[in-house]
Amino acid sequence: MRKPYIAGNWKMNMAPSEGRAFASALLDAVKESGADVKMMVAPPFVTIPAVLEVLKDSPIIVAAQNMADHDKGAYTGEVSPLFLLDLGVNTVILGHSERRQYYGETNESINRKILLALSHSMDVVYCIGETLEERESGKLEEVLSAQLEVGLKDVKSEDMKHITIAYEPVWAIGTGKTATPEDAESAHEFIRKTVQSLFSKDIAENLIIQYGGSVKANNVKALMAKENIDGALVGGASLSVADFLPILTFDK
Ligand code: PEP
């Protein structure tokens, strides 16, 4: 039985003071709503400590949006996984398409980060997904296969319990365009089959696969009704309690 996992990626929004106030309002709303999905928010690095003040010991996990591919050293501007762990952050989003698109991250560099995070027993939300051009030229499966094979290279079977996959078609992120539940389901089914061939049936069946790309209150139910869609990674709609709460309580 896969427990639904709904996550909010704040991207480069919410300064520390805003993040603290927002987390407090979100926590109050969540407590009243009786939401019982697995919940996570990923604030910008500098906002994490303020948000942790509010959400530590709450049911809402606080994650990072990225991390360095080294533990320490001369890597100006980077944030070590050890610093996140020191704060009490044990979950990290890796491979987001904006990191790939704007900051040159590749399946290989993301793989290094995934292996490093796993070496510290951190939980990883690994984002994969195709561009519109790749989809339209019939390369969807080729792209997803490479992202899974290279991104998860050398990951040990016993560490797969720390991995969540977020399928995020790049053309659906922040555009208001959502994949139809059927298109999303067929990509999720392909991802699960690929993970089965790379690891095992058991690992594939237990793998949480989130969908991301303009998830809103009005489309979350139809997406979550699909057999292979186990959660959502939400950008824009995670920045307001009024928009995010109905997604967290989609099953109520
Ligand atoms: C995201 O940031 O991962 C995302 C899916 O954004 P949005 O929901 O705004 O499309």
| Percent of the residues in the chain that have a pLDDT greater than 70, as a whole number | 100
Question: Can you list the alpha helix ranges (DSSP code H) found in 56-126?
Answer: 81-87, 97-103, 107-119
- For residue 82, give Cα distances in angstroms to 47, 78, 119, 156: 17, 12, 11, 21
Q: How confident is the model at residue 177 (pLDDT cuts 50, 70, 90)?
A: confident
Q: DSSP for 197-232, please give it.
A: HHS-HHHHHH--EEEESS--TTTHHHHHTSTT--EE
Atom of ligand 1 nearest to the CA of 166: 3
Q: Which residues are catalytic?
A: 96, 168
Average pLDDT over residues 94-99: 98
Average pLDDT over residues 227-250: 98
Q: Given a cut of 90, is residue 20 above it in pLDDT?
A: yes
Say if ligand 1 is within 6 A of residue 9 CB: yes
Count Cβ atoms within 10 A of the Cβ of residue 129 and give its class: 0-12 exposed, 13-18 middle, 19 or more buried.
buried
Q: How many Cα atoms are found within 13 Å in the side-chain-facing hemisphere of 110?
A: 29
Q: Is the pTM of this model over 0.95?
A: yes
Q: Which of 162, 99, 87 is nearest to 127 (CA)?
A: 99
Site to probe by mutation for ligand 1, drawn from 13, 168, 239 as the one with most ligand atoms within 8 Å of Cβ, is 168
Whole-angstrom distance, CA of residue 198 vs CA of residue 93: 21
All structural domains of the chain with their residue ranges: 5-248
Site to probe by mutation for ligand 1, drawn from 5, 6, 9 as the one with most ligand atoms within 8 Å of Cβ, is 9
Considering only residues 179 and 12, tell me which one the structure prediction assigns the higher pLDDT. 12
Q: Whose alpha carbon is nearest atom 4 of ligand 1?
A: 235
- Of 3.40.50.2300, 3.20.20.70, 3.60.15.10, 3.40.190.10, the CATH number of 5-248 is 3.20.20.70
Q: What is the mean pLDDT of the chain?
A: 97
Average pLDDT over residues 89-104: 98
Q: Which two tokens stand for residue 125?
A: 């939300």
Q: DSSP for 37-50, please give it.
A: SEEEEE--GGGHHH
Say if ligand 1 is within 6 A of residue 234 CB: yes
- For residue 101, give Cα distances in angstroms to 98, 115, 142: 5, 21, 18
Q: Given a cut of 90, is residue 72 above it in pLDDT?
A: yes
